[in-house]
Amino acid sequence: MQATVKRRLTKVALALVVAGYCAAPAVAANGNLKSGQWQIVSEQTGTIQGTVPWITRAADKTADTDKDHVTVTIDRGDRTVVTEGDKQFHVGDKVTVNWAIGDTEGDLDTDNAATKLTVQWMRYSDQNGSNPEEIGTKGSNTYEIQAGDADHYIGIKITPTTTTGDPAVATELLLKDLSTNTGGGADDDDIPEGPVVDENVHVVIHEKDSNTNLLKNTGTKLKTNTTYQVLLWSDKNGNGTYDAGENVTDQYDYRWKFVGTSAIAGTGTGGIVNESWNDKDLVIPLTNAEAKTAFEGADGGVTVGAGADDLMLKALTPASASQSMTTTGIVFTGTTGSDGTATFTLNQDKSLGLKTPLTVKLTDNTTLHASLDVIFMVLTSPDTDKALFWGNMADTTSVNGKTLHRPWLQAELLSGVTPVFTNGVHTNNEYWAMAHTVDNTKWDIAKQCGSLSKAPDNNDLLTLYHSISSLGWPTQGYPYLSKSTSSGGMYCGVDENTRNQNCAIKPASSAGYATCVD
């Protein structure tokens, strides 16, 4: 374009410039122009450059934390989704990315058309972008995951582009894992972190030096002092049989888990074996004591049964004696004093929180009898019929002048709600409900407390640390959540084991214990 200048004063008139356009300076000598007339000159400057465009998650998500990210949605078709693992990228899923263009000068890319042409779907062998391979059709913002993508991370290459302004093209952007915020997606969407799941991967558990799949032969008893191994194999040719070249065990991480209770005593609880056995062969020890040391300690972990509890009856009068009452059917025989009474004490030092029925009978007339339930409570179970064990945990405590209510058991969740974890978190023989800070779809603080405002603040949780061990409240594995906000839309929480603060709590994806303030 050219600039037109109307001269009224005998000075140089300067043209205003707009990014992307050129300007013609108007220079006139005194006395050469008629008063009140416009003079057009033909000289022009070079073009004026603005700034490069960028992409952001959406038109209403333009914070710095949204820059260089896309919004990822997934069409799972008729695939059944129950667990978090089911929500991961699977072969056959259709993945779509959307974004909005950001530009300092307000340049446009109508309907993202120009930028969409630059989209190239990619797959990587890890989250660092190793072994990049182009997949799909360039210029499409939708991709259907193929069998060859199994065990890979899905990403894209994209170049922010506008149809107006100068410059109109930015540097190509590499997003290496759309399942995470770090990789260009998000951590609070409906897509958990992880590679593409191959539904054709099968699991075999077998005794070392044996080919018998114990998952298919459930009648086979496991043995102590024996090593068990895992085989993961991908049915690449679809024949349903393990063939050479199909072993993919080293491509996966795996953990061991026990289910059920002791087959004989009925004690112990199922759960994850501690992390020292991750990705390793499992050796079952000879004794329960060795097994407790070897296997216990994981979050939501297994509790090895003791075989029976240590109930001990001690007769005090008229004669002293002791009798272990660790299993059903044990009988203590004694006599009363001349007044027809006898005095006993009962101890259960290792109680899990059990109720034990005791029956007293006359030796010469067994029809005369009386029964009494003996209950030894534990601090780590609440006094509710929803608890697995008998307990006297405090329901409330006072912190900073406020009344704080304990976390909920998984069994105390309201009917019809969607829990954060299907089975809760197993600790101290109870299953505890996890919550998110703010989550429209799953259990969160507002659903438990009535509103987020009824949650404790971070200072309350720091104070709670000093008394929580005497309360018996759970602390393992996850922080206690607060209503205190942090930067970038995050919230704060406190690890009540260590009093460490965590102010990077993602409101809809970071799990923790929820407590409520009156």
386-410 in b/e burial notation, b at 16+ Cβ within 10 A?
A: ebebbbebeeebebeeeebbbbbbb
Tell me: the pLDDT tens digits for 330-361? 888 888 898 989 998 998 887 778 888 888 88
Report residue 9's pLDDT band, with 50, 70 and 90 as the boundaries: very low
What Å distances lie between residue 168 and 156, 161, 165, 201, 384, CA to CA? 20, 5, 6, 46, 65
**23 phi and psi angles, rounded to 5 deg:** -135, 145
Q: What are 14's two structure tokens?
A: 């300067």
pLDDT, the chain, mean: 86
For residue 440, what pLDDT is reported? 95
Tell me: the pLDDT tens digits for 425-454? 988 889 999 999 999 999 999 999 999 999
**134 phi and psi angles, rounded to 5 deg:** -80, 140
Average pLDDT over residues 361-380: 89
**427, 477 contact by CB (below 8 A):** yes
Question: Which residue is associated with the tokens 């300092």?
Answer: 104
Beta strands in 215-364 (DSSP E): 226-234, 257-258, 271-272, 282-284, 312-317, 321-324, 343-347, 355-362
**Count of CB atoms within 10 A of residue 327's CB?**
12
Tell me: the pLDDT tens digits for 114-124? 999 999 999 99
**449, 514 contact by CB (below 8 A):** yes
For residue 457, is pLDDT > 60?
yes
Computed over its alpha carbons, how large is the radius of gyration of the chain? 35
For residue 215, what pLDDT is reported? 87
Higher pLDDT, 203 or 121: 121
Report residue 37's pLDDT band, with 50, 70 and 90 as the boundaries: low
For residue 40, what pLDDT is reported? 61
For residue 287, what pLDDT is reported? 63
For residue 262, what pLDDT is reported? 56
Can you tell me the distance from the alpha carbon of 239 to that of 200, in angstroms, rounded to the nearest whole number? Answer: 11
For residue 302, what pLDDT is reported? 65
Average pLDDT over residues 144-172: 93
What Å distances lie between residue 148 and 72, 134, 236, 471, CA to CA? 21, 12, 10, 53
Can you tell me the distance from the alpha carbon of 513 to that of 506, in angstroms, rounded to the nearest whole number? Answer: 14
For residue 64, what pLDDT is reported? 94
Ordered by start, the domain boundaries in the chain are: 1-48, 54-175, 201-295, 312-375, 380-517
> Which residues have C-beta within 8 Å of that of residue 43, sequence separation ≥ 6?
24, 25
For residue 4, is pLDDT > 50?
no
Three-state secondary structure of 92-120: CCEEEEECEEECCCCCCCHHHHHHHCCCE
For residue 44, what pLDDT is reported? 66
**111 phi and psi angles, rounded to 5 deg:** 55, 20
For residue 308, what pLDDT is reported? 45
Report residue 54's pLDDT band, with 50, 70 and 90 as the boundaries: very high
